[in-house]
Amino acid sequence: MQLDSKNINIFQKKILTWYELNKRELPWRKNRDPYNILISEVMSQQTQLSRVIPKYLTWLERFPTIEDLALAPVSEVLQYWSGLGYNREL
Catalytic-residue membership of 20: no
Contacts by 56-62 with C-beta closer than 8 Å and gap 24+? 56/27, 56/28, 57/27, 60/36
Q: Which of 41, 61, 67, 89 is catalytic?
A: 41
Catalytic residues: 41
